């Protein structure tokens, strides 16, 4: 039976999302959180940054756990490659359309993942990932010398997405300078039933209206 173009596209992204490779950074962290009381316009990462003391992940936290994860990942050196903000609205170019296409395909690769709000900005992406249940086949365990822990499905999803987008863009546009910033930022939404989830959704929705590339140089 021959594959349709759609089938081939799904096979292409499955190859990248399921290769199981992860970066070298230690993504295992964790600690029980407390309820956030951030105002609607405050950086959603602020409370998590205080808890983590400069670490990107919570120590001993299992990122395979069901839950809501607000993530941000950026282009290397914050180069604006995905389009531009015009009159408070994001206008995607061809690079941005590729990124959006592959992001929307993630639930086809992971049956236990739901995508909530997201926005692709000129040089970074904000998104909410909902892991519905723990899937043993998607867990990523990596033991490194002097480091122990779980990278987790969240890291696997983002790395697979980055790999797929990078490969497609470099193949189509012969752009070998296209590069993501290493790793990503995350904030665990401890109380999705509270106003926290709404605040982050509003933050994502309003991001284009408040966009200034200078604001993201320190992410």
CATH of the domain at 88: 3.30.70.1290
Retrieve residue 105's tokens. Answer: 């395909």
Burial label, 65 (beta-carbon count in 10 A; 0-12, 13-18, 19+): middle
d(C-alpha 53, C-alpha 194), whole Å:
25
Q: What is the CA radius of gyration of the chain?
A: 17
The domain of 194 spans 5-216
Residue-level pLDDT at 123: 96
> What is the CA 216 to chain-centroid distance, rounded?
16
DSSP 8-class letter at 2? P
Name the DSSP class of 138: G
Question: pLDDT tens-digit profile of 142-197?
Answer: 444 444 444 789 999 999 999 999 999 999 999 999 999 998 988 889 888 888 89
Per-residue confidence band for 212, with pLDDT thresholds at 50, 70 and 90: confident
What percent of the residues of the chain are helix, what percent strand, and what percent coil, each to the nearest 5? Answer: 35, 20, 40
Quickly state the pLDDT bin for 78 (edges 50, 70, 90): very high
Counted domains in the chain: 1
User: For residue 127, what are the contacts with CB-CB under 8 A and spacing of at least 6?
Assistant: 70, 71, 72, 103, 115, 116, 117, 118, 119, 204
The average confidence (pLDDT) of the chain is 77
CA atoms of 106 and 161, how far apart (whole Å): 8
15 has a pLDDT exceeding 70: no
136 — pLDDT class (breaks 50, 70, 90): low
């Amino acid at each position: 039976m021959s594959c349709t173009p759609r089938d081939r596209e799904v096979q292409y992204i499955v190859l990248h999302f399921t290769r199981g490779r992860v970066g070298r950074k230690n993504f295992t962290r964790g600690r029980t959180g407390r309820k956030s009381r951030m105002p609607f316009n405050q950086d959603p990462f602020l409370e998590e940054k205080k808890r983590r003391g400069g670490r990107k992940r919570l120590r001993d936290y299992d990122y395979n756990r069901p839950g809501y994860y607000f993530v941000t990942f950026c282009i290397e050196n914050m180069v604006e490659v995905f389009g531009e903000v015009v009159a408070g609205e994001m206008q995607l170019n061809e690079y941005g359309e590729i990124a959006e296409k592959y992001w929307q395909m993630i639930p086809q690769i992971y049956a236990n993942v739901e995508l909530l709000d997201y926005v692709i900005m000129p040089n970074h992406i904000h998104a909410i990932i909902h892991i519905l249940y723990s899937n043993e086949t998607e867990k990523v365990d990596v033991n490194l010398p002097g480091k122990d822990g779980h990278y987790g499905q969240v890291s696997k999803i983002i790395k697979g997405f980055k790999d797929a987008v990078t490969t497609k863009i470099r193949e189509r546009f012969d752009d070998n300078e296209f590069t993501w910033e290493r790793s990503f930022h995350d904030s665990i939404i401890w109380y999705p039933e509270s106003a926290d989830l709404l605040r982050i959704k509003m933050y994502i929705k309003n991001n284009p209206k408040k966009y200034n590339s200078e604001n993201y140089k320190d992410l």
